[in-house]
Structure formats: structure tokens, C-alpha cells
Structure 1
Amino acid sequence: MTDDQAIDAFLDYLGVARGRTPRTQEVYRLALTRLQEFMHPRSILVADGSELEAFAGLWLHKKGVVAASRKPYVSAVRMFFLWAQSKKLLVSGNPAAELEHPKTGHRLPRTLSLANAERLMWAPDLGTFHGIRDAAIMSLLMGCGLRVTGVCTLNEGDLQTVDLDGKPRMVVLVEEKGGRMRRLPVPREADALLRVYLGHEDLATIDRDTVGKHGRPDRVLFVNTKHPTLPAHEHRGEARRLTRKGVWSMVQRHGEKVGIPAAELHPHAMRHLFGTELTEDDVPTTTTQGLMGHVDPKTTEIYIELSMRKKMRTVDQHAPLAKMRTPIGEFLKRVPG
């Protein structure tokens, strides 16, 4: 079996047997292609442990891949060789068995501030189809904490209405990392935007028929209105689905228009805002974990470090300086606000 055949078979296994997303398969293919480059002209299947360490360490470093970005490379290599061993493609034992992920410093994610999130929600022109679509997408990113992939893969059938205390409320069924399904409540603001979007006359003219979950007929939820390469008669169905890149571009376009810093202009910053605001309001970590779809509770705990308003209230009320008379404390009492 050639390297290319082995990689293709491995990626098929990831998708079918392990339920990994196409995005994960793309990342793993890139990693294994880079390993082929490192091993050339020899097969990656004959690599030994020291060669894999050199690839994942110094070689990738010289190629400009920082430690944090090398983690998926290591994951891809470890899983590939574990699979190759199970298929008896290796001459000896698993050379990646001892390969470790690079050690990285603890870095806090960049979140969108609440003030900038408000400005961003006012940026789309709600008098246009594009504006309604964009506002609905951002309301799901901010209001439900969805990953951008989760939003892009939504179909109309993933929006469901439930009866809550005698009132109809919307929930969304979202598929994200590892093929996991989550059923999430939709905030009223996002609910209203989605209903306006679905009822828009421009959407009614677009062919967005697709096959949904369990092979049932469905319709793509969020659509693009242009395709740079497809002729008009082929621009339908799945080809109408808005991509991750399209969402990123949309967020940046609206954010730049209202002067939001570039570091905050990515969809994941909205997801971080969701997690941070739940933590600021003392929502239990287990509840936040469930709403965000985190498998490991340690991932959710990062929002404790991001919840600055909560920390500020704590030190203002309970730190030693709050419990004693000081010259500056007396002065502050006389200052308005």
C-alpha cells in the first residue's frame, strides 16, 4: 500500500468509524502530507520514533508552525500510526506510541466585549435580506454559543418548536465536534430574527433542497447569494450553503464598519462571549458546560478566568481595602459615580 492509499484509507476510517468531521479530516490530511514531505523519498510507514519527534518538533518549528499549532499534527500522527498498526501496515511496533504533544503556555482566548457585541448586532441593515440573514447568524453565535461549523451545517429541519408553559419556543438541534448532537434553547431575539429570515420573500425564491438527518428531505438554513465558479443553474441545494469562510468574512465586514478591533472579529469570539457572560451571572459550571457542548469540564473553567466583572465586584466588596478606612477611600466616597 502506498502512502497516499494509506492516508486515504485512514481518513475514510476517521469519517465512517470515528465520526470525525470533514474539517478534522482536512486538518489530519494536511498533517500527514507534511509528514510525507519530511520523510521524502522514504515512506511514512517506515518512520521511527526519533524521526517522528524531529518532525513534530524542530522540523515543524523551522517551518513556522508554533507549538500550539503543532498539537493537531501530533494528534494526526499518533492516530494514523495506531490505525496503521491495527491494519498490520507497520514493520515493527507503533513508532508514535511515545510521541507527546508540545508543551505550551496557558493562553486565554480573546473574547468579544459585550459593548462591541451590541454594536455588531446593530451593524446589519435589517431592511435587506442579507442584513436579516447576518443578524440571525450572529444571534445564534452569541445567543447559543454555537461554533461556526455548527451554524453552517444547520438545516431548516434542525429548528424545532416546543411548548414551554403554554408558549411556543424555538430550540435548535446542532451537530458539532465528533458528530455529537445538542438540543439548545434559542433566545427570544434569535427566535424572532430566524422567523423573519425564514419568512423573507427573497429566501422563498432560492432552491435550497438537501438531504437532512436520517436521509429525510430538508432545506439548507443559511444560504449564500453568490457563487464565484458555479453557473446559475447549478447554484442550488448544497451549493447554496453558506461556508465557514463566508461567516468569517461577514463578521469582519460588519465589525470593521463599526470600528471593532480586528482581534475580536471572529465567530469564536462570540462563543467565548456566551461562556463568559454565563459565568459572570453565576450560572453553574455544569450548566455552562452542557450549553457549550464541552466534553471536559476543564475547558469550561477557562471562563472563570475571563469573567472580569465578577472578579471586580468581588475585590471591590470583599478585599481588605474594602474593609478599612483609607485616605483615598474617603476621597472616593465624595467623588460622584
Structure 2
Amino acid sequence: MDFSAPAKEMKASSTQSDLIDQFLTWKQENENCSARTVRKYRGLLNQLGKFLDGNFANAELKILEQFSGGWLHRAGYSAASRKVAVAAIRGFYSFLAKRRMVSKNPAQDLVYPRMGRRLPRFMGLKSAEALLFQPDLSSLSGVRDSAMLALLIGCGFRVAGLCGLNESQLIWYQYGEVERLAIRTLEKGERERLVPVPLEAMLLVQAYLGHQDLRNVDRLLENGDQVLFVNLRNRHVPEWEHRGELRRLSTRAVDRMIKRYAIDAGVPEDQAHAHAIRHLFGTELAESDSSTLQIQALMGHADPKTSEIYTHISMRKMTNVLDKGNPLSKMDTPVTALLNEFKKGKLV
């Protein structure tokens, strides 16, 4: 392969690690790429570097296809994980080509693996209701947990966005004659969205903020703001240093809290996580005839196609349409008499 001068320069002066660092720093500073995505991209690009014997400039489309296809597949990567790898490779080589670190972009035509779209597993309303009644409202931790669960259920927040909240992100405003609450949250690559809060969740947040025991918790940050949802103990720091940012509740702690309450409430294990609650939020919006754009805005989706999936699982709406229009409802069948008795409420 014939390299241009910039490409030869790159080979001589920049190590594999340097190039990956430059790209990922640019992703963070210019595209607000999340720390989680940066970690994934770094791991995949490091593997690509090993596959290429450390020489990114020697890559050709065929070689990149072998890596993102067969090699990663044999290494146990799913189609979804290989899709992330293709995104990382395409972004990386686009970055290098625009800065003339390679003579051309070999990943420009690298295709994403084909994969079907799975319908999300969502928590049912009864399960969410049972979950919400689990916290002990006589304690600060119980009121905190109840407020967090209400925000997850009523606003569709991601756990990271919820845990990252500070008190300044609570926006109080007048709606008619009533004071209402909205929350400005940062999620997935620091994307900001402002979400109105249901009255039920607002009352629980107010109960948490007004709790007498919260006044004894030092949650003041260096910028003068305050951590919103706090942990009440931290075994990794001395008691006198347990303040400010170290008071912030972690995403793992919230995941454990949801699982614990779900087990106690008898919620199915495949629903015992925050994303099942988020899917409930999206599904109920679709059931209530919210448009795709409204769902996208409330859930903070970057792509409206992600929001469209909830229209496929709005079962109550589809059941209503089916019951009114299906051909069996317009003819006699072997079970018509039984069904008529059922509708009259004569069958238990």
C-alpha cells in the first residue's frame, strides 16, 4: 500500500496508544461521548491494533471486515457488540483521515452487521405499583428510595442521569394555579433534557427534601450546589470525609435497591432492573396516543426510530383495536355462547 507523507509520519511518530488517545479525547471534548462509550471504544480499538500488529496505516477495507466480522464473532461478540465495534472503527479512521494521518479512509464503506430489533422487556403497571409500595416511608432511606422509584416510573429517567442529579437541576414553575416541578437531566453523552415531573413523584421528592434527617447530611459540592440523592454510609471513607460528591448514590446501589424491592414484591426477575421501568414509561406513553416525537422528547432518544419501537408494544391499544375489528367478533364460532356469558360477567 502506498502511503502519503502524513501517513508515513504517523507511523514513525505516533504509537497505537497515542492515536487511540487522541481520537477518544476528541470524542469526549467535541461530541460529549460518555465515559462508558469511551471505555468500550478503547477496548475494541486496542484489539484492532493487536489484529493489525500495531500498524493502523496498513489497514484495508477487507482486513477491517475480517476483524469486525469473523474475528470478533469467533471471539464471542454478538451482532450488537460488533455494531459498536464498527462504529468505533469508522469514527476512528474518519478522525485519522481528516487530519491526514492516513492517506485514505479504509473504513468508509465498512458496513454494520445485520441484526433484528428486539422488543424491550418492560415492567407491568401492577409490578411497578407493588415495587413503589416496598420502601419504608418512616425512614430517610425509604423516602429517598420511594422518590427515586417514582421518578424512574413517572419520568423514564436512566439510572445514571438520576444518580447524577444535583438540587439546582430541580426547576420549579407555575402551571395554571399549581406549582409544578421539572428536572433538567444530563444523560448519555451529556445530552440535556428538561422533563416535567408527575404530581405523585413531585410530592415524594418534596417529602425527601423536607425530611428532618436530610438536614444532617453534608451534601454540599465545591461549586455551591448540593447532591440530590445521597448514600447514608460509605465504608470506603472516614466518617468525617463522607460529604459532598462522596455522598452521591451510585448506579450500582440503585440497581441493587430495585432488585431487592422487586424480590420482596414478587416482581419477575427479568423485570427487576431500571431499564424495564424505563420501558414501562415508553410503553405507557404509546398507549396514551403520544406521538413518536413526544416520546422521543420525553425519553431523550437521539434517534426517533428508537422511540417508534414503543408503538409496537402498546398492547392495550392494539387489543382494543383487535376486539373491535377482528373477523371472529363478527361471526358465530364454537365458543360464541361461552364468550357472551363471559362478557355478561356470569363466568368467574
- TM-score using structure 1 length: 0.92
- Counterpart of 1:320 (choices 315, 324, 327) is 327
Question: Separation in 2 of the partners of 1:236 and 1:36?
Answer: 42
Is structure 2 residue 94 aligned with structure 1 residue 79? no
Structure 2 partner of 1:60 = 72
Contact 1:125 1:131 in 2 (8 A): yes
**Structure with greater Cα Rg:** 2
Is structure 2 residue 18 aligned with structure 1 residue 5? yes
Percent sequence identity is 43
Q: In structure 2, do the counterparts of structure 1 residues 45 and 247 end up closer, same or farther at CA, with 3 Å as the change threshold?
A: farther
Contact 1:3 1:45 in 2 (8 A): no
Question: Separation in 2 of the partners of 1:234 and 1:49?
Answer: 53
Deviation of residue 45 (structure 1)? 4.4
Q: Counterpart of 1:168 in 2: which secondary structure?
A: strand
Structure 1 partner of 2:302 = 295
Q: In structure 2, do the counterparts of structure 1 residues 69 and 226 end up closer, same or farther at CA, with 3 Å as the change threshold?
A: farther
Q: Counterpart of 2:194 in 1: which secondary structure?
A: strand
Is structure 2 residue 118 aligned with structure 1 residue 107? yes
Is structure 2 residue 282 aligned with structure 1 residue 282? no
Report the AA paired with residue 40 of structure 2: V
- Counterpart of 2:317 (choices 310, 313, 318) is 310
- Counterpart of 2:201 (choices 181, 185, 190) is 190
Structure 1 partner of 2:106 = 95
- What is the number of equivalent residue pairs in this alignment? 331
Contact 2:41 2:85 in 1 (8 A): yes
Alignment of 1:241-252 (within 5 A): 241-252=248-259
Structure 1 residue runs of 5 or longer lacking an equivalent are none
Structure 1 partner of 2:135 = 124
- TM-score using structure 2 length: 0.89
Is structure 2 residue 187 aligned with structure 1 residue 176? yes
Once the two structures are superposed, residues 141-187 of structure 1 have per-residue CA deviations (whole angstroms, 9 ceiling, x without a partner) of 11011122221221111011101112111111112234322111101
The runs of 4+ residues in structure 1 deviating greater than 6 Å are none
Alignment RMSD (CA, Å)? 1.8
Structure 2 partner of 1:156 = 167
Structure 2 residue runs of 5 or longer lacking an equivalent are 1-13
Q: Counterpart of 1:255 in 2: which secondary structure?
A: helix
Question: Separation in 1 of the partners of 2:203 and 2:84?
Answer: 39
Q: Counterpart of 2:230 in 1: which secondary structure?
A: coil
Question: Separation in 2 of the partners of 1:99 and 1:110?
Answer: 31
Once the two structures are superposed, residues 99-147 of structure 1 have per-residue CA deviations (whole angstroms, 9 ceiling, x without a partner) of 1111112211111111111111111212222221111111111101112
Structure 1 partner of 2:55 = 43
Question: Separation in 2 of the partners of 1:230 and 1:87?
Answer: 45
Q: In structure 2, do the counterparts of structure 1 residues 205 and 63 end up closer, same or farther at CA, with 3 Å as the change threshold?
A: farther
